[in-house]
Structure formats: structure tokens, C-alpha cells
């Protein structure tokens, strides 16, 4: 087929602009439609200009149904409610969708998995190749270290991020918990304040930093009585997420319906 056509809801957001630029710079894909909410100041702006490039005579629209028109795949980094809506209309039109939105609750994730029975959905809280590798390192480390080591996760993001802990922090927390045969919701500790007593040996602690324009930093730390191990990932530019999402979008077009992860893309690419 010709270069896959990609549509982007939320094209005026941080990741939306990054995705537009990545697609315009790529050789193997083309940009179709990009949407925003009615009344937003960027409505009607040329998409090339929006991404800091030359005009391309395609414009940001508030027609939310346009993301399935003349489109082979959708990439969505918006908010949970919007992503669910986009996934539903994608399913109605048999268009695959890649979702990098964070902050889904369990019910919303269950809905997405049901939609994945109709179309291919690639969902990840982080589309960095480095984070995918980090998951493997964490799983291997936890299994070898056992239950005697304390686990703490530290994440840092820009001051405009609305959810906490980050989706990526929860992702790597889940990897650690599952490697211990635990459920993260039963062992995670996010808020420590006041006289809380000694640390529970089985808990996985989370610490959160918000400030400035930090793209994303994640660290998992393992503590024994006399030594410490750290696995760190630092994102210096959002284009690493865009590259992973575009790679996933191309992959999804030729695959059967299912609820996939970035690791599925990398393992079967």
C-alpha cells in the first residue's frame, strides 16, 4: 500500500505537535487529519505551521469524526474519556488505533480491551524503546533479588502534567509487583506523611516530582542493608515517544484485532 495515512486527535497538544512533526519528517507515513476541541485558539491553523515547519495546506479541525476519514490508523495521546470515544469510532470504521494516553481507570481499560476484539489497539503508557527495555531489566532484577530488597520508584515530569503517579511509573511498578507475584494495588505506597511506622517489607513506594519542563525521568531503586541498585531512564525529547508510536501505528495496520503493547510491536516487528 501507499504510505500509511495517520490521523491525530489533539493535534495542538504537546504530543500532538510532536507527532505531526515526526510524521512530516518520516518517509514511510503521511499525515491525514488532526483535530482539536471547538473554540481552541489553534483551530484552523495549518498543520505544518503548528509543528514549526512550512505550510502543508492541511488544517487543524474541530470535526472529531474526521480522524477516521481517509485514514489508515489513528495515534491518540489525549485524555482517557476522549481516547475511549476515539477508540469507539475507530472500531465502527475498522481503523486501528495507537493510544499513549495515561490515567485510565480499570473500567476504562476493560472497555478498551473489549474494543480490541474488533480492531488492533496498541496501548502503552510510554512509547519509548528504552522504557520497553527497562521493563525487561526490572523483571529480571526483581526475580533474582527476591523479597528481601526494598523497592522504590521515583518519577519526575513537567508542571503541566495532570495525573500522578505517571502512567510509566505505574507501568514499571506493575512489572515489579508481578515479578513478585503481587498485585500493585495491594502493595503500592504513594503518600507518606506524619508518623507512619516502619516501612512494610512488601510495599512498593512511589515518589513524585513536578516542575518546569521535565519531559520524563523514571528510576526504580532496590535497597538491601548494605547496597543499592538503580535502573534509570531519562527522556530528553518527546520525539522518542512519537517514534515509538509511529512504529506501532505502521505495525498495527497489518495485524489482527487485539489489545497489544509496545513490547508486542518490538517482539514481532
Distances (CA, A) of 45 to 13, 49, 55, 56, 59: 13, 7, 9, 11, 5
- The residue annotated as part of the active site, out of 17, 157, 218, 243, is 157
Given a cut of 80, whether residue 198 has pLDDT beyond it is: yes
CB 111 within 8 A of CB 84: yes
pLDDT band of 261, cuts 50, 70, 90: very high
**Residue of 219, 197, 196 lying closest to 208 (CA atoms):** 219
Contact (CB, 8 A) for 119 and 95:
yes
Active site includes 157? yes
Cell of 69: 476519514
Query: Biggest alpha carbon distance in the chain?
Result: 63
pLDDT at 77: 96
Could you report the per-residue pLDDT of 212-257, keeping only the tens digit for each? 999 999 999 999 999 999 999 999 988 999 999 999 999 999 999 9
**160-178 average pLDDT score:** 93
Per the annotation, the verdict on 161 as an active-site residue is: yes
- Spelled out in words, what is the top-level CATH class assigned to the domain 129-235? alpha beta
* Domain spans in the chain, listed from the N-terminal domain onward: 5-123+238-268, 129-235
Please choose, from the candidates 128, 131, 119, 76, the residue with its C-alpha nearest in 3D space to the C-alpha of residue 99.
Answer: 76
pLDDT at 67 over 90: yes
The answer to whether 177 touches 187, Cβ cutoff 8 Å, is yes
Q: What is the CATH number of domain 5-123+238-268?
A: 3.40.50.720
Query: pTM for this one?
Result: 0.83
Q: How far apart are CA 60 and CA 164, in angstroms?
A: 30
Cell of 244: 515509538
Q: How far is CA 46 from CA 52, 58, 59, 80, in A?
A: 10, 6, 4, 26
Tell me the percentage of the chain whose pLDDT exceeds 70: 99
pLDDT tens digits, one per residue of 95-145: 999 999 988 999 999 999 999 999 999 999 889 999 999 999 999 999 999
Nearest to 104 by CA among 132, 81, 128, 131: 81
SS3 content of the chain, % helix, strand, coil (to 5): 40, 25, 40
Pairing mode of beta strands 5-9, 73-76 = parallel
pLDDT band at 269 (very low <50, low <70, confident <90, very high): low
Q: Give the pLDDT of residue 101.
A: 94
The per-residue pLDDT for range 23-37, each reduced to its tens digit, is: 999 989 999 999 999
Amino acid at each position: 500500500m501507499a504510505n500509511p495515512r495517520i490521523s491525530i486527535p489533539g493535534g495542538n497538544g504537546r504530543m500532538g505537535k510532536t507527532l505531526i512533526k515526526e510524521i512530516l519528517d518520516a518517509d514511510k507515513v503521511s499525515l491525514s487529519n488532526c483535530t482539536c476541541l471547538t473554540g481552541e485558539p489553534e483551530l484552523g491553523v495549518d498543520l505544518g505551521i503548528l509543528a514549526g515547519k512550512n505550510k502543508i495546506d492541511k488544517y487543524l479541525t474541530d470535526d472529531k469524526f474526521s480522524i477516521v476519514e481517509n485514514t489508515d490508523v489513528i495515534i491518540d495521546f489525549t485524555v482517557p474519556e476522549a481516547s475511549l470515544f476515539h477508540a469507539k469510532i475507530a472500531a465502527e470504521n475498522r481503523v486501528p488505533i495507537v493510544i499513549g494516553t495515561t490515567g485510565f481507570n480499570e473500567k476504562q481499560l476493560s472497555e478498551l480491551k473489549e474494543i480490541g476484539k474488533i480492531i488492533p489497539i496498541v496501548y502503552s503508557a510510554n512509547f519509548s524503546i528504552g522504557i520497553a527495555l527497562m521493563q525487561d531489566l526490572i523483571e529480571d532484577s526483581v526475580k533474582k533479588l527476591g523479597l528481601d530488597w526494598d523497592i522504590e520508584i521515583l518519577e519526575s515530569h513537567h508542571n503541566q502534567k495532570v495525573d500522578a503517579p505517571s502512567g510509566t511509573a505505574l507501568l514499571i511498578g506493575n512489572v515489579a509487583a508481578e515479578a513478585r507475584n503481587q498485585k500493585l494495588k495491594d502493595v503500592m505506597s504513594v503518600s507518606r506523611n506524619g508518623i507512619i511506622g516502619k516501612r512494610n517489607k512488601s510495599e512498593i513506594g512511589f515518589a513524585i516530582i513536578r516542575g518546569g519542563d521535565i519531559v520524563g525521568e523514571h528510576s526504580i531503586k532496590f535497597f538491601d542493608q548494605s547496597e543499592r541498585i538503580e535502573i534509570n531512564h531519562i527522556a530528553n525529547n518527546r520525539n522518542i515517544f512519537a517514534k515509538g508510536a509511529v512504529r506501532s501505528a505502521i505495525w498495527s495496520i497489518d495485524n489482527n484485532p487485539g489489545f497489544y503493547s509496545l513490547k508486542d510491536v518490538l517482539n514481532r516487528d
